[in-house]
Homo-oligomer: A and B are copies of this chain.
Amino acid sequence: MPTGVKIAATPEQLAGVKYDASGLVPAIAQDVRTKDVLMVAWMNAETLQMTLDEGRMVYWSRSRQEIWRKGDTSGDHQDVREGYYDCDADVLLFKVHQHGKGACHTGERTCFYRRFGS
């Protein structure tokens, strides 16, 4: 069973992350093995730090306005393997090992299970 990788981000990297007016930054979770995009959710500075420290994806739930340690209720948690930030430092990308049945609350493996077109 793979475990999460704790990441020691530098103070410069952490200070460089750009949050929106609500103090949030979008974070993409990508399956480290299949490279499928699993989901996109939001982090604030606190849950980004928790994610890096714990090696496990911790989001900020906008609907519940609370820390969302992915999988605590569902079991479908996500171990961190690598973390990236984009050229503007306003989007994060984590390669993860997805536990359980998948990332999506619908039971699908990825949240992007619906395709435009008929």
A residues adjacent to B (C-beta < 8 A):
7-10, 13, 26, 28, 30, 34-37, 39-40, 52, 82-88, 91, 93, 104-106, 108, 111-118
Contact = CB atoms under 8 A, between A and B. Distances in A.
A47 to B, nearest CB: 14
B40 A116 contact: no
A68 B42 CA distance: 25
Contact of A26 (B40, B52, B87): B40
Given A35-B35, A40-B28, A118-B8, A105 B86 contact: no
A13 B114 CA distance: 9
B83 A115 contact: yes
Nearest to A52: B116
B105 A87 contact: yes
Contacts of A35: 34-36
A43 to B, nearest CB: 12
Given A9-B116, A87-B104, A117-B7, A37 B93 contact: yes
